[in-house]
Structure 1
Amino acid sequence: MSKALFCPTCRKVVLATDPDFPFCSDRCRILDLGKWASGDYKISTPVQDPDDLEELARSKTHRPNSGDED
């Protein structure tokens, strides 16, 4: 039995076996992509993965100076 979800764009029921899953159509997929590209969607939760945070901290401390030292 196929799992059914709702299309994130238009809320129609979509089966996991549908070719455009999780969207109901290519049109809904493109509309969703456009919202990401225009900044309508944002990931507002900060990174919580300790490995990613550690790597970010390392990259900030090892960044070469920009030459603006006074």
Structure 2
Amino acid sequence: MIRIRLADMLARKRLSIVELSDRTGITVRDLEVLRDQGAMALRLRTLDCLCRALSCTPGDILEYSEDEPN
């Protein structure tokens, strides 16, 4: 299972979804879908925007676990 750790990154950087939306141009709704693990796919362009805005690497945002989703 791949988990998107956007909520963790936002907390670490002390940013709100609205601030991240302003920095990236990604809609608040789309960011909420990513944050809440509702996304079925993540474009590399979106991942690049997030990494640039959060000054991090893809490994900081994505987490892999062999556990099955609930």
* Category of TM-score, reference length = shorter chain: under 0.3
Larger RCO, structure (CA 8 Å, separation 6 or more): 2
TM-score when normalising by structure 2? 0.25
